[in-house]
Amino acid sequence: MMYKGIMGAVIGDIVGSRFEWHNYKRKDFELFTNNCKFTDDSAMTIAVGKALADCNGDYDDLSLKAVQAMQSIGRQYAECGYGGGFKAWLNADNPEPYNSWGNGSAMRVSACAYFASSLDEVKDLSYKVTAVTHNHPEGIKGAEATAVAAYLARMGMKKEKIKNYIIKNYYPLDFKLEDIREEYRFHVSCQKSVPQALEAFFEAENYEDTVRNAISIGGDSDTLAAIAGAVAGAYYGIPEDIKSQGLGYLDDNLRTIVNDIDSKAFERSLVTQAKIAQKNIKNL
């Protein structure tokens, strides 16, 4: 069985990191090199995952825990490439949301897909970890679309149905990657990067192909690959060799946190399965 967890986004970020300012609009590149590194996308994905894990199934104070985890990890890894507004938020004594519609909301949200027990809950969790910074409607939407796509992928929904749900509720997806590759440029908004990242998943054959698709269109390569990789990791799973190589770019502290997140997410999935089984028995 292949791995499914938050490393889907993290590995996408790591592979895409060396292309963010040096776009390569093809798919024939070496996946991991010495120039790869984890960026703010990985750090904040792990921070959101930690906040969810620390809730132990009670998400009433998830927003507070998200702020605490993001500030704690963000300050420990201060040179990861945070944007100016988010960097100020990380260092604020009383951080407040700043109406951002940036794609940072979408790149960090994928852990919600592994802790949610329903579609409604994944939307609620996504909002709670997003609105602490990105409270603009487009920031909320981009994060929710990513979390929902990853959740539906994790639950085994077919690609066509996932795509139809995204089109109906979030973005039109009325393009193919080959149609936009030549002209597509760097965008920081959710509305100009989340649809493209999701299309990279919808056109792919497996996890690795998804990451290659996302990077091949250029733009904000690490974030596009993190978003696309989050959904692909939940849908296909990640081969062990790719997961192992990705973990090698994290330090011991971050690897320990990732392992704890994955363990807690697995525990939550068992609880959810037990509740579903109990409900089904009652309905017999």
Please report, for the chain, the start and end positions of each structural domain, with discontinuous segments joined by +: 7-282
Q: 86 near 107, Cβ under 8 Å?
A: no
**pLDDT at res. 270:** 81
| Per-position pLDDT tens, the chain of length 284 | 799 999 999 999 999 999 999 999 999 999 999 999 999 999 999 999 999 999 999 999 999 999 999 999 999 999 999 999 999 999 999 999 999 999 999 999 999 999 999 999 999 999 999 999 999 999 999 999 999 999 999 999 999 999 999 999 999 999 999 999 999 999 999 999 999 999 999 999 999 999 999 999 999 999 999 999 999 999 999 999 999 999 999 999 999 999 999 999 999 888 776 565 445 434 43
Q: Measure the CA–CA gap between 88 and 51, rounded to whole angstroms.
A: 20
| Separation between Cα atoms, residue 160 and residue 138, nearest integer Å | 24
Report the pLDDT value the prediction gives residue 1, as an integer from 0 to 100: 75
Calpha distance 119→130 (Å, rounded): 17
The C-alpha atoms of residue 179 and residue 184 are separated, in whole angstroms, by 9
**Residues 96, 91: Cα–Cα separation, whole Å:** 11
SS3 75: helix
pLDDT at position 279: 52
Residue 269: its pLDDT value, please? 85
Report the alpha-carbon distance of residue 157 to residue 141 in Å, rounded. Answer: 21
Predicted TM-score of the model (pTM): 0.96
* φ and ψ of 50, to 5 deg: -65, -40
d(CA 210, CA 25): 14
Q: What's the half-sphere exposure (Cβ side, CA atoms, 13 Å) at 275?
A: 9
Q: Quick one: CATH architecture of 7-282?
A: Orthogonal Bundle (1.10)
